[in-house]
Amino acid sequence: MAIKKIGVLGAGTMGNGIAQVAAQAGYDVVMRDIEDRFVEGGIKNIDKFLSKSVEKGKMKAEDKSAIMGRIKGTTKMEDMKDVDFVVEVVLEVMDIKKKVFAELDEITRKDVILASNTSSMSLTEIATATKRPDKVVGMHFFNPVPLMKLVEVIRGMKTNDETVATTIDLTRKLGKEPVEVRVDIPGFLVNRLMVPHLLEAIKLYEQGVASIEDIDKAAKLGLNYPMGPFELMDLTGLDINVHVAQYFYDNLPKESKWDPPFTLRNLVKAGILGRKSGKGWYDYSK
């Protein structure tokens, strides 16, 4: 099936990033969110990113205009009815994802693949909300989407080979590099490797072993990471880190290493979520 129009469900940081790379690759995009302010915010973020590319001479102004012209923002779920492929980018809450997939199953054509950008949750369970579990797949992008090359393509228990092949092909057409995750396990590949070191960094801080700044410096200079664990948590969102760690704790064999530390939980309870709230482990309001 030829994919010409892509639906993106969610206009936040990840959603508008996916919409942008799809439009840059020549696809028409429908980006939907629940309120106009979220949609408008997503459009503004895309415009801001592309404007910087024009300023730096990486893109012509007319190319930017063409890309923006391929993106339609909406709050109407029914606008997904004529898309050829969907990427869901809503909150990491299973009940919300299943509700959204049930709606997409009713609205979209039966041959349309429904992909989730979930970073850790079961595609097999998400697929139970649909009548097409063979066409439900994981398509996990990384933040910031326009710059990060990797996409995890994850099989659910009933995802068929054609769905995986189509998703991998689309990933490459978007200018990204796919890795296939063959078993539907919590966290897939990257988060299973990453989350333990993020949580361990918090525990080292809580135990007074080192400061946040020195732990980040150690990871960057000693492990050659592009950013430290606290910087990374601030970028992705502390609330996302709590959700993912809690999901691991609830769905993997019970181990204390997956339990979100109290400091992380308390920051989220206080609304201190990282860059998006202006403050996280570091202060971005200055």
Domains of the chain, residue spans: 5-181, 191-274
Helix intervals (H) in the chain: 13-24, 36-55, 61-69, 94-107, 123-127, 161-173, 190-206, 212-222, 229-236, 238-251, 262-269
pLDDT for position 254: 78
pLDDT in tens, 152-170: 999 999 999 999 999 999 9
Q: Is the pLDDT of residue 197 over 90?
A: yes
- Which residues belong to the active site? 119, 140, 152, 191
Give the number of other CB atoms < 10 A from CB of residue 211.
12
d(CA 142, CA 215): 23
Give the number of other CB atoms < 10 A from CB of residue 53.
16
pLDDT in tens, 201-234: 999 999 999 999 999 999 999 999 999 999 999 9
pLDDT for position 92: 85
Give the number of other CB atoms < 10 A from CB of residue 259.
14
Q: What b/e sequence results for 183-205 when a residue is b if at least 16 CB atoms lie within 10 Å of its CB, and e otherwise?
A: ebebbbebbeebbbebbebbebb
Q: Is the pLDDT of residue 253 over 90?
A: no
With pLDDT > 70 as the criterion, what percentage of the chain qualifies? 100
Contact 147, 162 (CB under 8 A): no
Query: Right CATH number for 191-274 from 3.40.50.720, 1.10.3720.10, 1.10.1040.10, 3.30.505.50?
Result: 1.10.1040.10
Q: Is the pLDDT of residue 89 over 80?
A: yes
pLDDT for position 135: 98
pTM, 2 dp: 0.88
The secondary structure of residue 259, as a DSSP letter, is S
pLDDT for position 257: 85
What fold does the segment set 5-181 form as a domain? Rossmann fold (3.40.50)
Q: Which two tokens stand for residue 146?
A: 């326009």
Q: Look up residue 83 and give its amino acid.
A: V
pLDDT for position 93: 87
Topology agreement, domain 5-181 and domain 191-274: no
Q: Is the pLDDT of residue 244 over 90?
A: no
